[in-house]
Structure 1
Amino acid sequence: MRKRKLKISDILFVVFILLLLIPQTRTPIQVAINKLKVAVWSPSVEDEEDQNEVAPFQYAVVDLQGNSQNISVGKGKVTFISYWATWCPPCIAELPGIQELYKDYGDKVNFILLTHEEPETVQRFIKKRGYELPIYFPQMQAPLILQENSIPTNFVISANGKILIKETGAADWNGTKVRELLDRLVSK
């Protein structure tokens, strides 16, 4: 019986697995992997026959300052909804792209980033990373069509309620495909 030679790739694989087992190194590795995925994974627009619609509604939310608001969804303005959390590596990986979109489209598109975490935790996270995003805490159950058990889950909804993009998992929200879609939607 021949003895198998140990390859450098075998050693690297073992080191990688060991690093994943150590809690302090797990999150940075997962974030790096997700950034790699985000760099190549662009959200896809639903085919017209597959597009669902959400009936217009008012999303009851509370902002980071504790103010209650009702934000229109599916009625008159394009909406970007993101379900996310500060402890979620894929969510963290896609936030820079969402921040860039918000900087360019924030006055033309309703951005609603929703989390169920403690406001203090979210405020620390946002401040540490320098984000300026409209983050809210839901005060109601979303319509069934917008409910998802996985985070991140993001939606782009047209001004008349068509769900044009539903993406679960990290994606490149600052990519050409999304920007072209938003440009078309806000120019109508």
Structure 2
Amino acid sequence: MIMRRFFASLLLLISSYSFADDSMMFNDIAFPDLEGREVNMTEHRGKVVLLNFWATWCPPCVKEMPSMELLRQKYADQNFEVVAINAGEDVETIEAFLLQMDQELTFPILLDKHGASFTTLGIRGLPMSFLLNKEGRSVMTFLGGREWMASAQIELIETELAR
């Protein structure tokens, strides 16, 4: 029974990580921020970026937000950024959600109001995150919620920051 649980957990862990084919570039995507300013991912070139796709109605998305903020704070003095792209919701919905959060989120939140990222970037579900290297190339894809301060995630980020 213990071995069965172990293998089931291992399979779940492996299936939730997807190693990018190292050809997906994110430099050319752009979405408006909450103030309506168009933000292009080229603005983050030279930084390691955790690019997260989420929605306010998605419980795992909401659950991982505080750890994404802690991650941003941990690497505030390094070339690291968290960017969250909301899929399919309007500014009012997101602002109401942010007011209800116990912790202030200081990372950029962009709007994919029409859900274009599902088609253009192959978003398979929410939350879905990409770890981008300093050139804007995806080095890891994460499907499902994460505790971003966990050692496995920290190790991946620190490896990319050291490059």
Interval of TM-score (by shorter of Structure 1 and Structure 2)? 0.7 to 0.9
CA distance in 2, matches of 1:151, 1:143: 10
Partner residue, 1:157? 132
Q: Is the 8 A contact 2:52 2:128 kept in 1?
A: yes
What is the CA distance between 1:149 and its match in structure 2?
Answer: 3.2
The correspondence for 1:81, drawn from 51, 62, 68, is 51
The answer as to whether partners of 2:72 and 2:82 remain within 8 angstroms in 1 is yes
Deviations 1:107-153 (A, max 9, x none): 52232211121111111111221332311013894596732131111
The TM-score normalised by the length of structure 1 is 0.65
How many pairs are equivalent? Answer: 147
Please tell me whether Structure 1 or Structure 2 has the larger radius of gyration of its CA atoms: 1
Counterpart position of 2:71: 101
Distance 2:80 2:18 in 1: 17
**Structure 1 runs not aligned, ≥5 long:** 1-36
CA distance in 2, matches of 1:85, 1:56: 20
Question: Which runs of 5 or more structure 2 residues have no equivalent in the other structure?
Answer: 1-8
RMSD: 3.1
Shift of 1:73: 7.9
Length-normalised TM-score, structure 2 = 0.73
The answer for the alignment partner of 2:95 in structure 1 is: 123
- Indicate if the aligned counterparts of 2:89 and 2:112 stay in contact, CA closer than 8 A: no
| Offset of residue 53 of structure 1 | 2.1
Q: Deviations over 1:131-186 (max 9, x none)?
A: 32311013894596732131111110112344222111112211112112212222
What is the identity percentage for the equivalent residue pairs of Structure 1 and Structure 2?
23
Query: What does residue range 1-188 of structure 1 map to in structure 2 within 5 Å?
Result: 44=17, 46=19, 51-55=21-25, 57-72=27-42, 75-106=45-76, 108-115=79-86, 116-129=88-101, 130-132=103-105, 133-138=107-112, 141-142=116-117, 146-188=121-163
